[in-house]
Amino acid sequence: MDIPILTPQLHQPKTSVGESYLRFQLNEDTPAVLLMKYVQEVLIISTGRITPIPNMPECILGLFNRRNRIFWAIDLAFMLTSQPVDASSQQYHVMIIRVGETPLSLIVREIKGTIRLVSDLQPLEEGTATIQPYLQGYIWQHQEKLLVLNAEAIVHSPSLYNY
């Protein structure tokens, strides 16, 4: 059997040019990136740690505690695509972002890692209305269409405050 991935080149020098982005899967088939400078921390928590809060918008899953601080847990996928994150999974991949003074924890399907991209951001075409306000554009890389999310837009999303 041919297993090339099992023997990686550990000290392969890599190009370190461009902006640093955090790469993640919004849902099964939607990769997305977020500028690293907004990201404070990523973590993986079990679903049980999130306490559901009643009378909140559907995208807010609840509250959870991290190092004596309380964070709102936002289902980013639901907020952007109205499709809830995979509920059968026992773990949530969480990224804590901070825009200005507002910290917010976003739950995504999977955090992939960091990626450096030379910003040849392309504008969005019309059509995807719900996701539109939160996007800066997209970047093509390795035949993948990476959505570049706008952190400020997410933080100030009306769906978080409209209730």
Partner 1 sequence: MLKQLYTRPVYITTSFIVVEQILIGADMATRFKQEPTSRHKYKKASHLNDSTRNTPQMPSSSVQHPLSGLDNHQIPTQQSNQNSVFDQLGLSFWQRLSLKTKATTLAITLSTLPIIVLGATAYYITSKTITNNVTQQQQARAIALADQFDNFISQRYLDIQNLAQSSVLNDPTVRAVVSTQSKELSLEQYIKNNPGYDNIAVIDPAGQVILQTAGEGIANYSNVDYFQQSIQTKRPVVTPPRKSLLTGEYSIYAAAPVINTTTGEVFAVVRSRTPVQYFNEILHAEAKNLAQSGNRFGVEEYFAVNDLGKVVVAPTEHLDYIGEDAQAVFPRVAPRLINNTSVGSLIDRDRVERQQYLVAYTPIQQIESQTALNWSAMVALPTAQVFAARQGLFLPFFLGTTVFTILVGAIAAHLVNRALRPVVNASLAVQKLGEGNLNTRLSVQGKDELAVLGSNINVMANQLQSLLRQQEEVTEQAQLFADVTFRIRRSLNVDDILKTAVKEVRKVLKSDRVVIYQFNSDLSGTIVAEAVAPGWTQALSDTIDDPCFKDRHIQQYKNGRVRAIDNIHQAGLTDCHIKSLERFEVKANLVAPILKDNQLLGLLIAHQCATTRAWQQAEIDLFTQLATQIGFALDQAYLLEQVEKARAVAEEASGDQRQQKESLQQQLIGLLSDVEQAAQGNLTVRAEVTAGEIGTVADFFNSIIESLRQLATNVKTAASQVNFAVAENQGAMHQLADQASQQAEAIAHSLDSLAHMTDSIQAVAASAHQAAEVTRTASLTAQVGGVAMNHTVDSILNLRQTVATTAGKVRQLSESSQQISKVVSLINQIALQTNVLAINASIEANRAGEEGRGFALVAEEIGELASQSSAATKEIEQIVENIQRETVEVAHAMELGTNQVIEGTNLVEDTKKNLRKIFDGSRQIDQLVQSISHATIAQAQTSQQVTQLIKEIALISEQTANSARQVFGSLQETTTVAQQLQVSVGVFKVDDES
Q: In this structure, which long-range contacts are made by residues 11-15, counting pairs with CB atoms below 8 Å and at least 24 apart in sequence? A: 15/116
Give yes or no for residue 112 binding partner 1 (CB under 8 A). Answer: yes
Nearer to partner 1, 44 or 53 (CB): 44
Dist CA 124 CA 8 (whole Å) = 36
CB of 88 to partner 1, least distance (A): 16
- Of residues 65, 102, 114, 119, which one binds partner 1 by CB under 8 A? 114
Q: How far is the CB of 95 from partner 1 (least distance, A)?
A: 8
CB atoms within 10 A of CB 8: 8
Binding range to partner 1, per CB under 8 A, among 32-40, 57-65, 77-85, 145-153? 32-40
Does the protein bind partner 1 through residue 85 (CB under 8 A)? no
- Given phi > 0 = left and psi -120 to 50 = alpha, else beta, which region is 136? alpha
3-class SS string, 102-135: EEEEEEECEEEEEEEECCCCECCCCCCCCCHHHE
Binding site for partner 1 (CB under 8 A): 1, 3, 5-6, 8, 10, 14, 16, 20, 22, 36-37, 39-44, 111-114, 116
